[in-house]
Chains A and B, each alone.
Chain A
């Protein structure tokens, strides 16, 4: 992909202060004055102002991208600050868009920031993406990733992709005229619950820094036409053992997005991929009887003998625990059923309720009839019952 495939816009001369600000770009022959003008005229939409969006937005602003669109409906939480370097301690509780706008303008007052304080959806995606040249995917869930991909394919806009989990990262450029799209690599998302989110599985704080800056690099190369992008290649980052490699991603003729073009609008996209995952998650929760934290607290206070089973991992148990709970990680549950009594009521909990819902289903399938899921997990317990239990 070269810059010639991006829209041409009128490009005036750089102002004197811009020559100084961007001097290190201007003396790169691959960028130069023309490349810097292109950056100034470019409109880049970042979906997500979190771990990946933070470094991507910071570097794109510093590089002189003229307009940065940011889509994020969330507020800054203390647990974000380990990796989301757009935001600071003083920003806790503020909207991420307000926090990001201030930080980006401090870095480069020339940058125009357009904020979209909504969750990207099939209903609003086209309108939000209107007029943007490049979309940077910094989302944190599969449903939005497939939505971004299909949006980019339908609109013929490059999708600068990055994704992270624990110590592993991926980056590529999808949905260009001749290249593959995300569905060519992964036709469908995994079922809900099979792949934990970063909030439950963890992520090395610096990893989105690595991958987000790779995304910023690719966006700059797409805009300026410099070098060779990751079109047709997937960059794999293993930060734990330090291995960086690229593998080939081929365009799949049977891909429903860019191959057969079965997906013709974003509602199709949601129905074809996101909805089953959500439906499955809903089905898991619907089938599992729950107990509210306050109700559990009241029953314990009245002296009832309840078996509270924590199905998180040992390192989570070390951070926070409900008094009297015992640890049986979800993966070990099947092999430790003989430690549980069928005569005693069992309350299962995890961090937020997802893993414990699966545990309740497994226990019921194994013949345990008196099993309840703690609604909202230890997070809700901390919020509703015992604030001394740390949130993480």
Chain B
């Protein structure tokens, strides 16, 4: 089962959980599955039209999904999805 990894800033929306198992055969399906259980995450992962934000990059293993098919990219059972939002602190 693929997993979704979250940065600490988003774990307040998941009760502190930072690695969430997900079901689905595409990135979109995996995100849908996670969002069903943690609805508060939804607006942090994609916009109101379901499109990716330009300031939140989602990785499938080590690849930016924008270069491998976006939300339609195929996901395998051993894959890890990572949410990497832009941060500006210094």
Contacts and interface: CB of A to CB of B under 8 A. Distances in A.
B54 A168 contact: no
7 contacts: A162-B90, A163-B90, A188-B55, A190-B85, A236-B82, A236-B84, A247-B63
Interface of B: 7-9, 12, 18, 40, 53-57, 59, 62-64, 66-67, 82, 84-90
A51 B89 contact: yes
Given A163-B89, A164-B90, A165-B87, A238 B7 contact: yes
Contact of A248 (B9, B54, B62): B62
Interface centre among B59, B88, B90, by most chain A C-beta atoms within 10 angstroms, is B90
Contact of B8 (A186, A208, A238): A238
Contact of B62 (A163, A170, A247, A252): A247
Contact of A50 (B18, B86, B90): B90
Q: Which 8 A-B pairs have the closest CB atoms?
A: A165-B87, A187-B54, A198-B89, A140-B90, A188-B54, A190-B55, A167-B8, A186-B86
A187 B57 CA distance: 10
Contact of B88 (A141, A187, A241, A248): A141
Interface string A110-151: 000000000000000000000000000111111001000000
Interface of A: 48, 50-53, 137-142, 145, 162-168, 170, 185-190, 195, 197-198, 201, 203, 208, 234, 236, 238, 240-241, 246-250, 252, 331
A241 B90 contact: no
A246 B62 contact: yes
A252 B57 CA distance: 13
The B interface, classified by DSSP as helix, strand, loop or mixed, is mixed
Given A186-B55, A234-B84, A238-B7, A165 B89 contact: yes
A100 B61 CA distance: 40
Contacts of A252: 66
Contacts of A139: 88, 90
Nearest to B12: A331
A129 B19 CA distance: 42
A168 B88 contact: no
Given A197-B89, A198-B89, A241-B18, A247 B54 contact: no
A189 B56 CA distance: 9
